[in-house]
Amino acid sequence: MTTPPPERLLGALRPPRRHPPAAAALVLAMVLAACGGSGDQADARPVPAATYVRGVCQALAQWETGVEAEFAEFGRALDFSERADVIRAGFIDLFEGLDRRLSTAIGRIDEVGTPDVAQGAELAEDLRDVLGESGAVFRETRSKSADLPRTGLEPAIQIEAMLTVVVDQNKRVLGSLDEVANRYGAGQLTQAKSAEPTCSTLDPDL
């Protein structure tokens, strides 16, 4: 007898930029090429710990809302169907959506900058890697979904297995800031997180 999915998941189933002069742009392009690219969090400007934490938690809160939206769409697509092809297509769309929304969250976190703490650039890059690992899991699970047979599935078993992936990765995504802050002993971030209202609304337990 399989364990039913978590209750919340069951409920979810129901200003102009100015361009630099040509010469400056050329110099910038040469510098970026020498550095191997731009836009990485580790190369961004340092910002106060509270600013960084607020930006990260806002991005994660948007991710959390996105997960609920993806499950709502998943539920509408399946409509409690037991047809293997419908379930297969639903999972493909679900994990594509989760990967896309996580990529958006990572981009928003990149825009925040790096925390002005010891090893802040390394910490920010590590946070990006942690989130990227969850994205890789979503892409891998999406591929596995595409490999599911179009007939002969055990719906309850498949749904439980796939939802477990989402529960586990959502927990890691929403706990990612704590994970890296603890890894680097960044007490300033932990303190800022406890004082930031947006962070307190995050619920890793779906």
The per-residue pLDDT for 43 is: 54
Give me 77's structure tokens: 């697509």
- The structure's pTM equals 0.77
Q: Is the separation of the CB atoms in 13 and 71 below 8 Å?
A: yes
Which tokens hold the place of 26? 């050329």
Average pLDDT over residues 181-186: 95
pLDDT (0 to 100) of residue 206: 64
CA distances from 48 to 30, 112, 151 (A): 30, 10, 54
- Read out DSSP for 22-44? HHHHHHHHHHHHHHT-S--GGGS
Residue 173 is predicted with a pLDDT of 97
The predicted structure's pLDDT at residue 177: 96
Distance CA 86, CA 103 (A): 26
Indicate the burial class of 40 (C-beta count within 10 angstroms; 0-12, 13-18, 19 or more): middle
What are the tens digits of pLDDT across the range 59-116?
Answer: 999 999 999 999 899 888 877 677 778 888 889 999 999 999 999 999 999 999 999 9
Reported as type and span, the H/E element at residue 47 is strand 46-47
Pick the CATH number of 43-200 from 1.25.40, 1.20.120, 3.40.1350, 1.10.10: 1.20.120
* Cβ proximity of 117 and 123 under 8 Å: yes
Domain boundaries, the chain: 43-200
Tokens in use for 114?
């790096």
